[in-house]
């Protein structure tokens, strides 16, 4: 589809591939007139801003010139110098070859012309540059003149050899893409000559025996050094011939789809299977030279396109210059095209003075022309994916340890037959132990035997810490989990009840010994006496008999004189204080107190608070203890985060664990994770 357009009748040259942003240089075309009959000449540089959705090209520099151009190229000479944009070389109708500085044109400097030579005696129709030495330029003109220019010493060109006879115009010159000392030239009569610049002589001549070839274009194969293309402008033979110098008696292949003569060809350097051609049948075709198939056709107006060129930097783009005074930039990737049918009527009318056009004093009548129409066309993409979007190799894992791979076969560039590519599917097993443990877990999940599975993991655990993890996990699948968590922490509820009963008996006995002091019935005085003597048990018992107010007062005095925050928390139900202020060495006691006394709503947040304090310590031991707190609270996210902080987090599995969502099967998921990460087993 068309992406940019400007009204110009000009020769064109893209900036080199290394240049950014992308520029397009336009030089006023020789032997052409626009609708205004303007005879001036100019060299312009436009920026291709593809982020801008409009069709406009942004003019960045302009330079008036004394001659119009038959040919224009942009070479990457001296671009290794910081800030350099290379060189523009133009071949003019007067026979001059001029070297321009794009940087000077872009900055409107005065020294834009770096060098100029009038060595040629006729119009310079042909220009090309050496792909290996960007300072070497070849030019061709009339009278069989071919010169080799060195941009480092522009005043003294050399010739590839003796002029060919009979003398005729040189329509095209082309450097070989693989061998730097090989140059080819072609004449309108259809003859092509291959020159060896080391010997300064021709090494082979190619000509079509039909004598109907009028050579309008010649290109070397981007990859095969011995193959080249010749395009014919003759309407009687509108073909593109592919020649191989090893079999130069006849063309290797002939591309035939144009119905009238071919004006221009361009071979993609990014994909040798893409060849552009434009002809006098108003068609721009894209070929696969290997198969001879037309794989894309550009929509064009009813005008000849005399020059097409691929964009070196963006391989999907091409530019086309047509005789209707239009330079268009297209994309071969398809899309929607709103094609405006422009009219040149306004431009022609503007060239005349409508009040007195020829001095007759008469006014031109208004022209009756149809209004411009807008047509929307769906442009299909290329029939084959271009090389720059094709993966040379690829691999992807599938379920069940399957690995799918493909690669491009190594074939000779000159092979013409389609290449059959293969996709390989293989079974990959790298962690047999991992797969075995995964199968065991899947069986446990299907059968629901979680407790027995955890019991088996406890018996095979390599360390006490590993056993503690699995013991706490197993409790989640059993009844009375909080009671069993207490046992795992080393506390027995029955034992605690026995100790409490013993202590109560002792207090009662001790209270009986001092009963006589209460005969007067002053319980408050008796309590004060006990507290002052440090007999706290007697004080509590006596305060019970003295009433609720005395009991509350006695508790407060007792707790104020005690340093054991656990007792205070039990009496006042202030569990937040105990988990925030207890010594971390007493984490078991704090967790046991929560399991015994905390209600269901407060239990999980309090366990998380205790676990956070342990995790903040940073040591592996405390992080493991924090994991047990998070298991008790059922906080899977915090458990996984704490657990993975002490494991090998370079594992993709370990990284993914941090983002596990909450679900009814959190504990099952946790077990799955812990089993299926081999690195975790080794570091536990």
Confidence at residue 107, expressed as pLDDT on a 0 to 100 scale: 93
Please check the confidence at residue 476 and state whether its pLDDT lies above 90. Answer: no
Lowest mean pLDDT among 36-40, 445-449, 454-458: 36-40
Confidence at residue 559, expressed as pLDDT on a 0 to 100 scale: 61
Tell which residue, 8, 55, 50, 49, has the closest CA to residue 338: 55
Confidence at residue 603, expressed as pLDDT on a 0 to 100 scale: 85
Please check the confidence at residue 618 and state whether its pLDDT lies above 80. Answer: yes
Confidence at residue 566, expressed as pLDDT on a 0 to 100 scale: 54
Confidence at residue 677, expressed as pLDDT on a 0 to 100 scale: 46
> Binning pLDDT at 50, 70 and 90, where does residue 53 land?
confident
Please check the confidence at residue 228 and state whether its pLDDT lies above 70. Answer: yes
Two structure tokens written together for 260: 């009238």
Dihedral sign of CA atoms 78, 79, 80, 84 in order: positive
- Helix or strand holding residue 88 (H, E): strand 87-92
Confidence at residue 682, expressed as pLDDT on a 0 to 100 scale: 41
Pairing of strands 182-186, 172-175: antiparallel
Provide mean pLDDT across the span 220-233.
Answer: 94
Query: Comparing 316 with 536, which gets the higher pLDDT?
Result: 316
Provide mean pLDDT across the span 79-105.
Answer: 91
> Binning pLDDT at 50, 70 and 90, where does residue 502 land?
low
Provide mean pLDDT across the span 74-97.
Answer: 90
> Binning pLDDT at 50, 70 and 90, where does residue 251 land?
very high
- The chain-wide mean pLDDT, for the chain, equals 80
Confidence at residue 364, expressed as pLDDT on a 0 to 100 scale: 54
3-state secondary structure 193-213: EEEECCCCEEEEEECCCCCCC
Confidence at residue 644, expressed as pLDDT on a 0 to 100 scale: 78
Tell which residue, 249, 257, 266, has the closest CA to residue 307: 266
Query: Which residues, other chains included, contact 326 with Cβ-Cβ below 8 Å and sequence gap of 6+?
Result: 5, 6, 7, 8, 301, 303
Provide mean pLDDT across the span 210-223.
Answer: 89
User: Which of 203-207, 338-342, 670-674 ranks highest by mean pLDDT?
Assistant: 203-207
Q: Report the greatest alpha carbon distance in the chain.
A: 151
Please check the confidence at residue 581 and state whether its pLDDT lies above 80. Answer: no
Please check the confidence at residue 671 and state whether its pLDDT lies above 60. Answer: no
Peptide bond into 543 cis (omega under 30): no
Confidence at residue 585, expressed as pLDDT on a 0 to 100 scale: 84
> Binning pLDDT at 50, 70 and 90, where does residue 276 land?
very high
Confidence at residue 366, expressed as pLDDT on a 0 to 100 scale: 59
Please check the confidence at residue 564 and state whether its pLDDT lies above 60. Answer: no
Confidence at residue 515, expressed as pLDDT on a 0 to 100 scale: 76
Confidence at residue 254, expressed as pLDDT on a 0 to 100 scale: 94
CB atoms within 10 A of CB 199: 11
The C-alpha atoms of residue 541 and residue 337 are separated, in whole angstroms, by 98
Lowest mean pLDDT among 211-225, 406-420, 612-626: 406-420
Two structure tokens written together for 602: 């407060």
Dihedral sign of CA atoms 595, 596, 601, 605 in order: negative
Task: Pick left, alpha or beta for residue 534 (phi over 0 → left; psi -120 to 50 → alpha; otherwise beta).
Answer: left
The C-alpha atoms of residue 218 and residue 209 are separated, in whole angstroms, by 17
User: Which of 407-421, 446-460, 636-650 ranks highest by mean pLDDT?
Assistant: 446-460
Provide mean pLDDT across the span 278-286.
Answer: 93
| Three-class DSSP category at 346 | helix
> Binning pLDDT at 50, 70 and 90, where does residue 464 land?
confident
- Contacts of 176-182 with C-beta under 8 Å, sequence gap 24+, read 176/220, 176/225, 177/131, 177/220, 177/221, 177/222, 177/223, 177/225, 178/220, 178/223, 178/224, 178/225, 179/225, 180/130, 180/131, 180/132, 180/133, 182/225
Tens of pLDDT along 503-532?
444 444 444 434 733 444 556 777 777 777
The C-alpha atoms of residue 72 and residue 88 are separated, in whole angstroms, by 7
Pairing of strands 201-206, 97-100: unpaired
Lowest mean pLDDT among 43-47, 123-127, 335-339, 491-495: 335-339
Tell which residue, 192, 155, 202, has the closest CA to residue 172: 192
Confidence at residue 172, expressed as pLDDT on a 0 to 100 scale: 95
Confidence at residue 649, expressed as pLDDT on a 0 to 100 scale: 46
In our burial notation (b when 16+ CB lie closer than 10 A, e otherwise), range 97-113 reads: bbbbbbbbbbeeeeebb
Tens of pLDDT along 431-446?
778 778 888 888 888 8
**Domain ranges (residues) in the chain:** 391-427, 432-508+563-682
Confidence at residue 562, expressed as pLDDT on a 0 to 100 scale: 58
Helices 620-633/636-644 angle, 10° precision: 170
Provide mean pLDDT across the span 411-439.
Answer: 74
Cβ pair 142, 186 in contact under 8 A: no
Provide mean pLDDT across the span 444-458.
Answer: 86
Question: Cα angle vertex 41, ends 40, 46, to 5°?
Answer: 130
Confidence at residue 659, expressed as pLDDT on a 0 to 100 scale: 43
Confidence at residue 660, expressed as pLDDT on a 0 to 100 scale: 43
Confidence at residue 185, expressed as pLDDT on a 0 to 100 scale: 95
End-to-end CA distance of the chain, in Å? 62
Tens of pLDDT along 329-356?
998 886 555 544 444 444 445 544 545 4
The C-alpha atoms of residue 240 and residue 254 are separated, in whole angstroms, by 6
Tell which residue, 386, 222, 383, has the closest CA to residue 314: 386
Tens of pLDDT along 294-331?
999 987 767 889 999 999 999 999 999 998 889 999 98
Confidence at residue 490, expressed as pLDDT on a 0 to 100 scale: 77
Tens of pLDDT along 144-190?
999 999 999 998 999 999 888 888 899 999 999 999 999 999 998 88
Lowest mean pLDDT among 228-237, 370-379, 465-474: 370-379
Report the percent of the chain where pLDDT is more than 70: 77
Please check the confidence at residue 495 and state whether its pLDDT lies above 70. Answer: no
In our burial notation (b when 16+ CB lie closer than 10 A, e otherwise), range 498-517 reads: eeeeeeeeebeeebeebeee
Confidence at residue 216, expressed as pLDDT on a 0 to 100 scale: 92
Pairing of strands 275-279, 284-288: antiparallel
CATH, range 432-508+563-682: 1.25.40
């Amino acid at each position: 589809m068309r992406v940019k357009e400007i009204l110009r009748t000009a020769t064109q040259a893209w900036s080199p591939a290394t240049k950014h942003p992308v520029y397009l240089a336009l030089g006023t075309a020789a032997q052409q007139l626009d609708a205004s009959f303007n005879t001036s000449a100019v060299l312009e540089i436009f920026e291709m801003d593809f982020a801008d959705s409009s069709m406009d090209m942004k003019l960045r520099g302009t330079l008036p010139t004394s001659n119009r151009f038959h040919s224009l190229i942009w070479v990457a000479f001296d671009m290794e110098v910081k800030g350099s944009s290379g060189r523009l070389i133009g071949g003019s109708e007067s026979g001059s070859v001029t070297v321009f500085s794009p940087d000077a044109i872009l900055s409107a400097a005065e020294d834009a012309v770096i060098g100029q030579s009038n060595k040629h005696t006729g119009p310079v129709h042909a220009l090309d540059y050496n792909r290996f030495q960007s300072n070497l330029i070849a030019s061709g003109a009339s009278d069989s003149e071919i010169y080799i220019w060195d941009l480092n010493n522009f005043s003294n060109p050399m010739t590839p050899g003796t002029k060919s006879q009979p003398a005729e115009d040189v329509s095209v010159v082309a450097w070989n893409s693989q061998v730097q000392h090989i140059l080819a030239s072609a004449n309108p009569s259809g003859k092509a000559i291959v020159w060896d610049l080391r010997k300064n002589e021709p090494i082979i001549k190619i000509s079509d025996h039909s004598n109907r070839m009028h050579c309008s274009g010649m290109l070397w194969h981007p990859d095969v050094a011995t193959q080249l293309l010749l395009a014919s402008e003759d309407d009687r033979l509108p073909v593109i011939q592919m020649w191989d110098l090893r079999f130069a008696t006849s063309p290797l292949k002939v591309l035939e789809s144009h119905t009238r003569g071919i004006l221009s060809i361009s071979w993609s350097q990014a994909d040798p299977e893409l060849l552009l051609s434009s002809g006098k049948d108003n068609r721009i075709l894209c070929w696969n030279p290997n198969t001879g198939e037309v794989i894309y056709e550009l929509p064009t107006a009813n005008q000849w396109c005399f020059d097409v060129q691929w964009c070196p930097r963006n391989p999907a783009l091409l530019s086309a210059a047509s005789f209707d005074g239009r330079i268009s930039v297209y994309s071969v990737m398809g899309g929607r095209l709103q094609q405006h049918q422009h009219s040149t009527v306004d431009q022609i009318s503007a060239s005349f003075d409508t009040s007195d056009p020829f001095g007759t004093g008469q006014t031109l009548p208004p022209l009756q022309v149809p209004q411009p129409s807008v047509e929307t066309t769906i442009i299909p993409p290329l029939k084959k994916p271009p090389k720059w979007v094709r993966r040379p190799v690829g691999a992807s894992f599938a379920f069940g340890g399957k690995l799918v791979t493909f690669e491009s076969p190594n074939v000779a560039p000159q092979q013409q037959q389609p290449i059959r590519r293969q996709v390989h599917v293989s079974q990959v097993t790298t962690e047999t132990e991992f797969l075995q443990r995964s199968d065991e877990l899947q069986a446990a999940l299907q059968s629901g035997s979680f407790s027995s599975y955890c019991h088996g993991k406890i018996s095979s655990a390599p360390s006490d810490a590993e056993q503690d993890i699995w013991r706490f996990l197993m409790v989640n699948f059993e009844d009375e989990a909080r009671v069993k968590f207490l046992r795992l922490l080393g506390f027995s509820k029955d034992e605690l009840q026995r100790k409490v009963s013993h202590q109560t008996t002792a207090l009662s006995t001790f209270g009986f010994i001092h009963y006589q002091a209460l005969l007067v019935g002053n319980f408050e005085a008796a309590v004060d006496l006990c507290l002052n003597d440090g007999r706290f048990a007697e004080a509590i018992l006596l305060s019970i008999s003295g009433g609720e107010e005395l009991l509350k007062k006695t508790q407060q005095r007792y707790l104020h004189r005690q340093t054991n925050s656990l007792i205070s928390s039990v009496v006042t139900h202030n569990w937040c204080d105990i988990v925030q202020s207890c010594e971390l060495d007493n984490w078991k006691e704090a967790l046991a107190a929560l399991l015994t006394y905390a209600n269901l709503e407060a239990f999980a947040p309090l366990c998380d608070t205790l676990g956070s304090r342990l995790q903040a310590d940073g040591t592996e031991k405390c992080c493991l203890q924090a994991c047990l707190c998070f298991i008790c609270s059922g906080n899977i996210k915090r458990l996984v985060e704490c657990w993975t902080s002490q494991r090998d987090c370079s594992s993709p599995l370990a990284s993914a664990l941090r983002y596990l969502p909450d679900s009814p099967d959190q504990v099952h998921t946790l077990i799955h994770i812990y089993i299926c990460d081999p690195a975790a087993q080794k570091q536990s």
